[in-house]
Amino acid sequence: MRARVVLGVDLGTTATKVVATTVDGRQVAIAERGYPLRTGADGCATQDPDLVAAQAVAAVADCARGLDVAAISFSAAMHTLLPLDAAHRPLTEALSWADHRAAGTARALRADPELARSLHRATGTPVHPMSPLVKLAWFAEHEPGLCRRAAYWVGVKDYVLHHLTGHLVTDHSCASGTGLLDIRRLAWYPESLRLAGISATQLPELRPPNEICRLDADIDGLPRGLPVVIGAGDGPLANLGTGAVRPGTAALSLGTSGALRVITEQPGVDPDGRVFCYALAEGLWVRGGAISNGGVVAAWAAQAFGVDVADLLTEAAAVRADDLLALPYLLGERAPWWEPDPRGAILGLRREHGRAQLTRALVDGVAQQLALVADAVPGSGEIRATGGAFRAPVWGQVVAAALNRPLAMTAEAAGSGLGAALLGWRALGDLPTLTAAADLITPTHTVTPDPDLARSMARRRPLVERAHTALRDLMADLTDPG
């Protein structure tokens, strides 16, 4: 007898991954279809929305083959933005979270600190170029003609859902990452709409993440009328997919970039504005921060030194770099600074330092950034960790030491797609609560912090903050083309 499954569809930045999952969290099939992220010297980072939709349909069909599918449920990369005309046709490519063209707009908004703080407190989203609010304000200034033609502004998942169901809707989770949603009222925030230059009628209808629509498009092997769960943002769903869904429990992911998020039962950000606050579903929220630089720093170092990245990380694991301090901002940075354009630095460099020490300093720097995020969020519960970077043991050792807490490692496939599938089972009524997912996901092993390394990381962490503060103006001058 075939197992009954929900397909968790994760619309990522460069690929859609689909995970077929049984009600007990067992994954029975995975499919993936890729698409390019188009980048340019002007800071653009965009996706072809029709290609994303087509590849999502293809990946769903690949994964569904031969399975008894009960529903489809969605996850998506947050902070995407796409203008549509009155016939729901795209007017541009979709801007991803990585699109940086609105950096100047973010700087202008942050020049009024009280405005930036009030927006962050109300919406849970920092004023940063990733934010659709900031992107919309940039469009209003630079593309007024396009803005006049835009009947709707949506996210990529909203567009794909419209393609599949005929409904133009968005969920509270993805909406809470736009900078446009009042996270306490779960309604569009008037001040954000004013700054964005749009009306609420130009945005999709707001719906709970576990609401069900019906399939109204042709997908091989699936019947029309199949339940389609609207779903949520990839960050909050990563908590669900790793079982980090009880209040105070954290999910830590580390791939090319990284993030740390803690489940809470109340919306809100910290007084210093270091973290975001996004909805999951059913009264659960995540507070935390995404960092732009994770495993990418090791990949960059390997390319620069002309060696294999796995070999370089093995070398880095065998040394310490306690006399070096790295700000590893190769791709800028997000949490906890949320500034538009910080740059990286390595301080303390001397002739005796080689590639192993430099790489270890970069790894330490990434771990320190995650620890700065952890310092800003509540809770002292378990940390569930996942991500491709942890294939190299040095990452787990250093991150555990920086946080000075054990890491309960979960399978690499445990993440947003699995979270979407579990949300789907909850929407169907087969999962009693979302927090029940904590008992379905079993860690594979635990990495415990080395006490000596933990003390060294703790001693150096204030230096990271001091270095960032001291170099902030210098980096801005270096970035300024004038």
At the topology level, CATH places domain 4-239 in Nucleotidyltransferase; domain 5 (3.30.420)
- Residues 411-429 as b or e (16 or more Cβ within 10 Å = b): eeebbbbbbbbbbbbbbbe
Strands (E) in 317-465, as ranges, are 325-327, 345-347, 383-386, 407-409, 445-447
Tokens for 206, please give them.
Answer: 């707001």
Sequence-ordered list of residues with C-beta below 8 angstroms from that of 259, at least 6 positions apart, any chain: 235, 238, 251, 252, 253, 288, 289, 290, 291, 373
Pick the CATH number of 244-409+450-479 from 3.30.70.20, 1.20.120.330, 3.30.70.580, 3.30.420.40: 3.30.420.40
Please tell me the predicted confidence (pLDDT) of residue 21.
97
The SS3 of residue 155 is coil
Domain span(s) for CATH 3.30.420.40 in the chain: 4-239, 244-409+450-479
Please tell me the predicted confidence (pLDDT) of residue 179.
98
Q: Residue 356 burial (CB < 10 Å; 0-12/13-18/19+)?
A: buried
Count Cβ atoms below 10 Å from residue 332 Cβ, excluding itself. Answer: 22
Where the chain has pLDDT below 70, the residues are 1, 380, 413-414, 481-482
Q: Degrees (nearest 5) of the Cα angle 369, 375, 376?
A: 100
Please tell me the predicted confidence (pLDDT) of residue 382.
86
Single pTM value for the model? 0.94
Please tell me the predicted confidence (pLDDT) of residue 288.
96
Distance CA 19, CA 49 (A): 21
Distance CA 330, CA 340 (A): 13
Tokens for 352, please give them.
Answer: 């005796």
The SS3 of residue 75 is strand
319 residue type, one letter: V
Please tell me the predicted confidence (pLDDT) of residue 340.
83
